[in-house]
Amino acid sequence: MENEMNMMPRIGDPAPAFRAATTQGTINFPVDYSGRWIILFSHPADFTPVCTSEFMTFGKMQKEFEELNCQLVGLSVDGLSSHIAWLRTIRERMHFRDMDNIEVQFPLIDDVSMNVSRLYGMIQPGESETKAVRAVFFIDPKGIIRTIIYYPLALGRNFDEIKRVLIGLQTVDAFNVALPADWRPGDEVIDPNPGNMKGVEERWEKSQKADSGVKCYDWFFCTREIPCDEIHKKIGK
């Protein structure tokens, strides 16, 4: 059983399919969101403080994710009645930082059976055998898992990083580039290396010209700039 609970899909795998009841009705995942990015994330339990702060943040940012053509889908091992009561409490009673009256409109999966949690390796026995850890799966419009981030029960997620990863993945796809450490929109991106010696030499010579748009730190490490407005035109919707 422990090996089963630890299994998880990998980056590059098709997102495992499932059908589930949620606070927004029954969903067929991921086919219902074909053509959109998906962030599937789990939380340990309803009516817990760290999870409440996270759902308030997701709720506050849900329009930002929608504008990036991304569907949020949450999950815990609680049932629908608990989910609904908790989300109503968040909307009607919770005030945290600058957030209040937060209405969560994305689906929250009922996973009392733990079937989905086990399917995605969200149950980590070393952390808890009865609660899902804070997993985040980034799934592209073709239903392929592109990034996986795991957090323990006691550590809340960094939502700036979650949004940065989503924009970064969309930028990689749209411009066929790689992204350096700490990249944010507007920063220089990494130009893919040519596949042969001639291409390497031509790029190096090009980089020596002031108006080339390419900057080479060495033959294997060259960058170029993509303005923010150009990125925004190509990613998201």
Write down the catalytic residue from 51, 70, 216, 222.
51
| pLDDT band, residue 207 (cuts 50/70/90) | confident
213 and 150 inside one domain: no
CA nearest neighbour of 22 among 78, 102, 101, 91:
78
**167 within domain boundaries:** no
**Residue numbers of the domain that contains 78:** 2-158
Cross-strand pairs, 79: none
Quote the mean pLDDT of the chain. Answer: 93
In a domain? residue 171: no
Residue 163 forms part of a structural domain? no
Residue 51 falls in the annotated catalytic set? yes
Q: What separation in angstroms does the CA of 162 have from each of 18, 40, 150, 151, 181?
A: 24, 11, 12, 12, 15
Q: Which of 81, 91, 85 lies closest to 56, judged by CA?
A: 91
Q: Are 142 and 204 in the same domain?
A: no
CATH number at 188 reads 3.30.1020.10
**Same domain (yes/no): 110, 9:** yes
**Percentage of the chain exceeding pLDDT 90:** 82
Mean of the pLDDT values across residues 174-183? 96
Edge-to-edge strand list for the sheet holding 188-190: 188-190, 221-225, 214-218
Residue 27, beta-bridge partner list: 20
Same domain assignment for residues 12 and 125: yes
Are 136 and 49 within one domain? yes
Four-point Cα dihedral 99, 236, 169, 174, nearest 10: -160
Res 200: pLDDT: 87
76: helix, coil or strand? strand
Query: What CATH number does residue 85 fall under?
Result: 3.40.30.10
Gap between the Cα atoms of 161 and 168, Å rounded? 10
pLDDT at 5 over 50: no
* Residues 142 and 181 grouped into a single domain: no
Domain count, the chain: 2
Q: Which two tokens stand for residue 138?
A: 């980034």
Same domain, 40 and 112: yes
Is the confidence at residue 233, as pLDDT, over 60?
Answer: yes
Q: Does 150 share its domain with 182? A: no
* pLDDT in the model for residue 77: 93
94, 201: one domain: no
Q: Which residues of 112-134 are buried (b: 16+ CB within 10 A; e: fewer)?
A: eebebbbbbbbbbeebeeebbbb
Among 132, 158, 184, give the residue marking a domain's end: 158
Binding site as annotated, residues = 134
Q: Report pLDDT for 205.
A: 87
73 and 144 both lie in a single domain? yes
Q: Which residues are annotated as a binding site for substrate?
A: 134
Tens digit of pLDDT for each residue in 104-147?
999 999 999 999 999 999 999 899 888 999 999 999 999 999 99
What is the distance between the alpha carbons of residues 41 and 208, in angstroms, rounded to a whole number?
46
C-alpha span between 58 and 136 (Å, rounded): 12
